[in-house]
Structure 1
Amino acid sequence: MLTVVAQKKTIIGKITSNQQPLENINVKIMSTNQSTKSNSLGDYQLNTFGKADVVIQFSGIGYQSAKVKVSIIGDSLRYNIDLKTQAADLNDVVITGVNRATALRKSPVPIAVLSKKTMDQNVNTNLIDAIVKGIPGVTAVTTGPNVSKPFIRGLGYNRVLTLYDGLRQEGQQWGDEHGIEVDEYGISRAEVVKGPASLTYGSDALAGVINMIPLNPILEDGELQGDFTTNYQSNNGLIASSLGLAYRKSDWKYTFRASGKTAHNYQNKVDGLVYGTAFREYNLSASARVDKSWGYSKTAITYYDNLMEIPDGSRDSLSRKFTRQILDNGDDIKNRPIVPDDQLNSYAINPLHQHIQHFRFYNTSNFKLGNSDLNVLIGGQQSIRREYNHPTAPDQAGLFVMLNTLNYDIKYNLPDFSGIESTIGINGMFQSNRSKDATDFPIPDYNLFDVGAFFFARKSFGKIDVSGGFRADRRNMEWKNFYVASNPQTGFGEKVSEDAAASNLQFPAFEKKYYGLSGSLGLTYNISEKLLIKANISRGYRAPNITEIGSNGLDPGAHIVYLGNRTFKPEFNLQQDLGVIAYLRDADLSVEVFNNHIQNYIYQSRLTDENGNPVVLVPGNLTYQYQQSKAQLYGAEVSINLHPSQLKWLSFNNSMAYVVGLNKNQDLLDLHGSEAKYLPFIPPLQIRSELKATAQKYIGFLNKPYVKVDASIFADQDKFYALDNTETYTKGYTLFNAGFGSAILSGKGKVLMNIFIQVDNVFNVAYQSHLNRLKYFEYYNSSPNGRSGIYNMGRNFSFKMIIPF
């Protein structure tokens, strides 16, 4: 018997960019299953059998892909390559919503990427603000400058799944005034998936996914690297700073970051200083990662602490000056004392505030198994939220809840078979929420268990890339009888046992299982290297969240009494996406259109009696009841970015985003007509334009400085949910901004610091965003100046400095 053994050949080398080693660059021998990634020193090694001539592909996030043909003479070959960086390209590699690192051009799902460089060049008070300014189709519902809840194409709350380093973010994100507990200074990149096609996640990705990816510096052995960031903003006196450190020793890499922010009340020319909008935020994070031949393992911990005031919008009826609550019993919201000027300008947090703490501890590991690999993510989180709303007892929390979550995520990337890349996985979470020493109980103490399994695959057929898969989910939600009573000493509510005197059953016991099947199928047609068409159809699933099915009480921070509905069914949607993208010599062009049909859509509506009058269960607070119906959302995003090849210093970037949300509840439409035609919280037509000039060489001690002007145009929003005055018409507006930035060099050409100077709302326009909840913080039918509610931030100067070392 004759046995033929193919000769093993080895390819080794180093991957760099500007002579700096690159980690995590994908290296693949084309037309084979042989692939690997570069290590922290940029080194890689590949084995091949038989052929002496092979084509190697190099690809990585932020770098232009390269394909090279090499000849292996003898048993081995060394091939080094220096990759070029890219600001944006179809070959940019993403990791969110796909089964493994994937070039943007190969994914039919709409995915957008925002770099730290872009975030640094804008004025932001939180990370979501930065994403909203940088990615068309993403908006935010805001409650002052420190709370921004992301919406994607008109859908938000639990329909947008937020991730930190791939770990599902769990911080009671269903609430109106609950922000995202993430340190913006520690994020190097954000990836946004638009739509429900991200099958690697379970419930709550109905609208899409936002993955916030922390910094991962490239280090030489024994090297200590760091940066110090400081930021000042004039409008609310924001003072922020952040210190980051990174150190590498042999196979281990360690990172650490500490950040802090403080701000007094923000201001505009209509309201002056807006009482109740000051905040103070602290962040700590640390990680340790080891890279070995078998893969890598990273363990990380983060801590977020935020003190944030609670605005309620109460004013003096004649002067329109803000007033403050000083009584619990006997409080008359229209007869309160005016806030003194020294309290409006103070950095001190007033007695009526929220205290949010978030702890995160997780491990993410990758194990190489020949031509396949296993990814395991295990994480624990604890979110503690206190809302202090009793002026006569400032140390007594009105709301005090503790949310504990254990996340698990296991994905196995199977060996390539006939050119098919496939992944199977299982993920979910265990979760419990408990009320502590509180007086108000908007939701019960509940337990939740999630589990889901998925299969995802992709394959290329010449110029066509096809990908898709399916997923099955199950969620179990349950709670026991929850009793409350009035404390005879304080008069406040408290949680009691069933046999306590005068106990009231506020939340009867409940248990239910929710099931969901979702799927996605799409293709990308590569007309050329720089022009392609994408099409995708996907079905998403979302189980009702705790407030939608279980709420029955006052949320002090929102000033709203929420009423849930236990009979709600899960939401399902069917979305079609079509996109055309071109990266030409002088312009980048993209057009994306979508159509989204939702069954069992859940939304808030003001509760009224049979005469149409608002129901008031707690004086001074609105009452909302959740509704469920069919819905449709459709719209488009268009980007036209001009960068003339003959004028390399000039760029002119433009984007447009438009979405319409229709309520398909026919019974409601027959009864109320156009008042109920549209969905709530739908952003108006938005156009953003930026003209930027960037020097192509040094100017003295300035390294390629830039100057830019930009405009944000928001149209009138006359397509709103008007039933029971839940929403009102919002007038359009235009904001102009300007900025300058540069790296400052030493005499030896080393970067000493990066500076960013920005002015937002240059002309101090008085405006109200349609997604600004403070617009509805009003207690009078009319006012002396003819204006209602609270306006957004006025002119704001920002100075940011980043010092690397």
Structure 2
Amino acid sequence: MNHLQFSIFTILFSFISSIAFAQSGMLKGKVTSSKVPKEDVSVKLLKLNKSVKSDLEGFYSFEQIPFGTYEIVFSAVGYQSKKQTIVIVGAEQFLNIDLEQSASNLNDVVITGVNRATELRKSPVPIAVISKRTMDQNVNTNLIDAIVKGIPGVSAVTTGPNVSKPFIRGLGYNRVLTLYDGLRQEGQQWGDEHGIEVDEYGITRAEVVKGPASLTYGSDALAGVINMIPYNPNFEDGKLKGDFNMNYQSNNGMVGSSIGLAYVKNDWKYVFRASGKTAHNYYNKADGYVFGTGFREYNLSASARIDKQWGFSKTAITYYDNLMEIPDGSRDSLTRRFTRQVLDFGDDIKNRPIVPENELTRYSINPLHQHIQHYRFYNTSQIKFRNSDLNFLIGAQQSVRREYNHPTIPAQAGLYVVLNTLNYDLKYNLPDFLGIESTIGVNGMFQGNRSKDATDFPIPDYDLFDVGAFYFAKKTFGKIDVSGGIRVDRRNINWNDFYVGTNSQTGFGQQVNSNYPDANLQFPSFNKSYYGLSGSLGFTYNISEKLLLKANLARGYRAPNITEIGSNGLDPGARIVYLGNRTFKPEFNLQQDIGLIAYLKDADISFEVFNNNIQNYIYQSRLTDADGNPMVIVPGNLTYQYQQSMARLYGAEVSLNLHPNHIKWLTFNNSLAYVVGLNKNEDLLNRFGNAAKYLPFIPPLQFRTELKFTSQATKGSFDKPYLKFDAALFAYQNRFYALDNTETFTEGYALFNMGMGSGIKSKSGKKVFDIFIQCDNIFNKVYQSNLNRLKYFEYYSSSPNGRSGIYNMGRNFSFKVIVPI
């Protein structure tokens, strides 16, 4: 090419480029809601299939848009979408939009199990939400109890008033993954006799996924997820605000208090909370005061968060400390009054001294108790790019668990284990492509458990490494929202030879090396990896703006936990000898969900059915000899050996909530939950028939109803006072795991409750405090829940009053005050 040709080519190229540039422009604008800038709003140019998101100040922009007419859509979770037509004819044009919040509950925003904030209406997975306001209006001694009362399909296995292990649709323990602010909770959750290490006063909202969530979280989310979300302040800059909670409950004298403070300055948000509660033994008419059910709990938490144009970063720390007595149910055979253990060697259950009446209402903790401490430190952050974002979470936890069960040496722990866990979670929300929102991620944990100065060793010292990777995507086709994904997991668990011997000075057991004179190899070395493939696919059909049809198919995965494969010893707090099985395979389930949800003018209606088939289901069963008689390894303690078989669970949840539009002060809420759990172990079914037909710990049919009257205005000093009546009806449970009397028939019962409350304002109109008064079990019903482990704490085959085991709590008045700061 000569100089003349090159010059002509350059001029021609510049001319064409200038024409092309002149035929394209830039579109800019700002998105607000009630004049407040709104970030993370999705802005799409439909014809060009381009999309961006608004930044922290609400601004968005598109560059080099060819001249022409376009439809642009603004959408954000929790807000009504807006579509606008715009003509691009100049180099730079502006379009500002103000979005309106959506009134429908279908547009509630959830973050659990969906990888990014999503409206409930767009998720085919059954997800339920409960707010702090709802929890405050019920009587609760722990957070799980509050969730159980508010969400159909969720139940809890309990050991006294302060220990509740969550179950979702008949599955619990390591099959329900509990999260705190998105970080998985790790605290020896396989145990029966302690609850979730979370401050109930510090939780502002809980989200529950009812169904396999292994796609996002990996192992241990086979039944679902409970995400407990702490308070995140969002108020005026430079203001210190907070609240002070006080709660008293009459039955066990529980006194609880909590102070929370929050401060926002420029881009920083600071939160601090300190809580405590204490209670003596609880009471019912059948047992009187139940010895060994008092507790004392303390919590501290603090966090700091910074929000910038590039994203956010939050660092938080929590501390949980719980002293909790250990009930064993021992009694005098004639009077049925509770007795206490005073000897280690030579203890005779029939000759224990009776507990004096004046000690049953003391707040001091008995020498036989548990001490549980949980430390948590984590950081969760997000880095925003133009059309995508990177999210990462890293957290360290330590769970320290001691069980003191030696009355002659009170300072000697029977069980003393320390569990250290490092969690990691990395997710990248990719730019939208052809209308597809997708996420890739990897998460898992490192974990190590060590026994300290103890006398009982139910599990070995072990190390665990967990890693999983997933891909998740969702897309809207007109009225249909489709989402799903796939995941692969690997978990390795290993331990070295673990020897136990006898301490010559105390006569108790102790951990020893292999050269110790009477060393017994209690846990031979073990090393195994488990692999899992999980995923889900579902859709939501938006029949109309307020009527949805949802369907979801999900495959979950769970590796066996440490007790199921490695246990071989007494857990003194549970009073059970556990025997594991090293040959167990991972559990896999395939669950189908179908739901119809309607949010109408005067009513909210939902109907959900599910069917869940599980391979390699692991459960506990009493150990028996060749003649079928229960075997006792440690006197006074039951012996359970883990089993594995096929299983099936199916059921339904129905809710009908009436809120007449022309009677705004009235609501009438009703829900029903039903689940059946079938044991598919053909060998047991052929040998024992109906005794082995059902799975253990399956809740009975239950119905909850609440009639509530709420003033829509301020009446003098009372701000929107309410009065409510509610009831919980539980059918008898004759579908139970009856083999070897592992479970027994449970009578049905009905509990009636009543509550009232109001905000209290000063003459100037400023809120002074909120007050909640509630009475549970108004008629002081004597009952036993089939999910109450204390039902089986019985030493005698018969009793003078014909009652066996320990009964649930009687009438309980609750007085709660929340003072804003």
Which structure 2 residues correspond to residues 536-685 of structure 1 after superposition, within 5 A? 536-685=552-701
User: 2:101 — aligned with what?
Assistant: 83
Partner residue, 1:401: 417
Match of 1:723 in 2: 739
8 Å CA contact 1:33–1:415 kept in 2: the answer is: no
Q: Distance in 1 between matches of 2:332 and 2:54?
A: 64
Q: Does 1:208 align with 2:228?
A: no
RMSD over aligned CA atoms reads 1.7
Please give the per-residue CA displacement for 1:35-85, whole angstroms capped at 9, x wherever unaligned.
43674xxx422223547875554544xx5545364869964344445636x
Go from structure 1 to structure 2 and tell me whether the alpha carbon gap of 1:756 and 1:69 turns closer, same or farther (over 3 Å shift): farther
Match of 1:523 among 539, 550, 563: 539
Alignment of 1:188-587 (within 5 A): 188-587=204-603
CA distance in 1, matches of 2:290, 2:80: 50
TM-superposition CA deviations, 1:183-230 (whole Å, max 9, x none): 111111111111114511110000001111111010222121111111
Q: How far off its partner does 1:140 sit? A: 0.2
| 2:217 match: secondary structure | coil
User: How far apart, CA to CA, are the structure 2 residues paired with 1:262 and 1:24?
Assistant: 43
Three-state SS of the structure 2 residue aligned to 1:774 is helix
Instruction: Give the partner amino acid of 1:665.
Output: N
Q: How many residues align?
A: 795
CA contact 2:38–2:58 (8 Å) conserved in 1? no
- Per-residue Cα deviation, 1:553-585 (whole angstroms, up to 9, x for no partner): 000100000000000000000111111111111
The answer as to 2:27 corresponding to 1:9 is yes
Q: Does the aligned pair in 1 maintain the 2:295–2:324 contact within 8 Å? A: yes
Change in CA separation of 1:44 and 1:758 when aligned onto 2, cut-off 3 Å: same
Q: Is the 8 A contact 1:64 1:89 kept in 2?
A: no
Q: Deviation digits for residues 331-359 of structure 1, max 9, x if unmatched?
A: 01121000011210000000000000000
Pick the aligned partner of 2:60 from 46, 66, 86.
Answer: 46
Identity %: 72
Structure 1: which amino acid aligns with 2:721? P
In structure 1, what is the equivalent of residue 122 of structure 2?
A: 106
- Pick closer, same or farther for the CA change 1:257–1:749 going to 2, 3 Å: same
Residue aligned with 1:317, SS:
coil
The answer to whether structure 1 residue 36 and structure 2 residue 53 are counterparts is yes
Supply the distance in 1 between the matched residues of 2:209 and 2:127 (Cα, whole angstroms): 5
| Contact 2:695–2:737 (8 Å) recurs in 1 | yes
3-state secondary structure, aligned to 2:365: coil
Separation in 1, partners of 2:811, 2:288: 12
After superposing the two structures, state which structure 1 stretch, 195-204 or 681-690, moved more.
195-204
What's the offset of the Cα at 1:391? Answer: 0.3
What are the within-5 Å matches in structure 2 for residues 694-733 of structure 1? 694-733=710-749
Distance change >3 Å, CA 436–CA 55, structure 1 → 2: same
Cα gap change, 1:257/1:65 in structure 2, threshold over 3 Å: closer, same or farther? Answer: farther
> What SS does the corresponding residue of 1:246 show, helix, strand or coil?
strand
User: What is the distance in 1 between the residues matched to 2:427 and 2:210?
Assistant: 22
Call closer, same or farther: CA 1:428–1:359 in 2, change over 3 Å: same
Give distance in 1, aligned partners of 2:54 and 2:772: 35
Say whether the 8 Å CA contact 1:308–1:353 is kept in structure 2: yes
**Letter in structure 2 aligned against 1:685:** L
2:566 and 2:477 mapped to 1: Cα distance? Answer: 49
Q: Tell me the distance in 2 between the aligned counterparts of 1:30 and 1:274.
A: 66
**2-side partners of 1:253 and 1:270: how far apart?**
51
* SS of residue matched to 1:90: helix
Q: Which residue of 735, 739, 747 corresponds with 2:755? A: 739
Secondary structure of 1:667's match?
Answer: helix
Preserved CA contact (<8 Å) 2:79 2:99:
no
- Any idea what SS the aligned residue of 1:213 has? strand
Mapped contact 2:473–2:483 kept (Cα < 8 A) = yes
Displacement of 1:26: 4.1
- Cα deviation for residue 92 of structure 1 reads 1.1
SS at match of 1:199: helix
| Structure 2 CA distance for aligned equivalents of residues 571 and 500 of structure 1 | 39
Paired AA for residue 46 in structure 1: Y
Q: Aligned with 1:118: secondary structure? A: helix
Given residue 94 of structure 1, which amino acid in structure 2 is its aligned partner?
V
Q: Per-residue deviation at 1:488?
A: 0.7
Question: SS of 2:349's equivalent?
Answer: coil
* CA separation of 1:161 and 1:729: change in aligned 2, threshold 3 A: same
* Cα distance in 2 for residues equivalent to 1:788 and 1:599: 35
Q: Secondary structure at the residue paired with 2:147?
A: helix
Question: Aligned partner of 2:573: which letter?
Answer: G
Superposition TM-score, scaled by structure 1 size: 0.96
Kept after mapping to 2: 8 A contact 1:237/1:264: yes
Offset of 1:117 from its aligned partner? 1.0
Give, in whole Å, the separation in 1 of the partners of 2:497 and 2:526.
8
Q: State the structure with more CA Rg.
A: 2
The offset of 1:8, in angstroms, is: 2.2
Once residues 782 and 258 of structure 2 are traced to their aligned partners in structure 1, the CA distance between those partners, rounded to angstroms, is 32
Contact 2:378 2:395 in 1 (8 A): yes
- Tell me the amino acid that sits aligned with residue 369 of structure 1: F
